[in-house]
Amino acid sequence: MGKDLTSEYEQIQASIPATTPLLPAPGPDPSQPNVRPLPPPPAAIQLTPLLGNAPSEHMQTLHSLYAAQAATIAWTADSASSMEVDRRDVIVGIALRKSDGGADEGLNEMERALFLGVMDMLRELLASA
């Protein structure tokens, strides 16, 4: 009960032009057999904060990373199930617990594992829809 479980909530809208190609996920890395590669977010992605804000630059980077990757997974799942290129904007709601890491440290292993786990769950959810 002594842990600080506060989180900061933010909604971010992700959008890309309809003509922007979506690249597939790269092949599996033999050195990391338990990690499913993610499709790379397109360079033309636009992230627009809609509600809330991150308490630090580090958390803002994490929120942007989650929003860009979640939107890319949604777009690639949608394009696999349809021949149309009608890409809608994706709004991602993010609530992450405050990180113990400093602003200049980059992603720590716990953040990386959590990110990959969330993205795997999202892929499974969209595949079953």
- For the segment 11-53, what is each residue's pLDDT rounded down to a tens digit? 999 999 988 999 988 988 888 888 889 999 999 999 999 998 8
- Within-domain flag for 24: no
CB 52 within 8 A of CB 29: no
Q: Which domain holds residue 74?
A: 10-15+33-128
In terms of pLDDT, which residue wins out, 100 or 4?
100
Task: Using alpha carbons, list the distances in angstroms from residue 36 to 26, 104, 119.
Answer: 9, 27, 10
Q: Give the pLDDT band of residue 100 (cuts 50, 70, 90).
A: low
- Tell me the range of 2-11, 68-77, 104-113 where mean pLDDT is highest: 68-77
Tokens of 115: 């990110």
CA distance 129 to 127: 6
- Within-domain flag for 5: no
In terms of pLDDT, which residue wins out, 111 or 6?
111
pLDDT of residue 15: 96
Please state the domain count of the chain: 1
- Within-domain flag for 88: yes
pLDDT of residue 105: 66
- Within-domain flag for 21: no
pLDDT of residue 34: 84
- Within-domain flag for 4: no
- For the segment 107-116, what is each residue's pLDDT rounded down to a tens digit? 788 899 999 9
pLDDT of residue 83: 55
- Within-domain flag for 91: yes
- Within-domain flag for 2: no
Residue 95 reports pLDDT greater than 60: yes
Residues in Cβ contact with 82 at an 8 Å cutoff, skipping those fewer than 6 apart: none
- Within-domain flag for 67: yes
Name the average pLDDT for the chain. Answer: 85
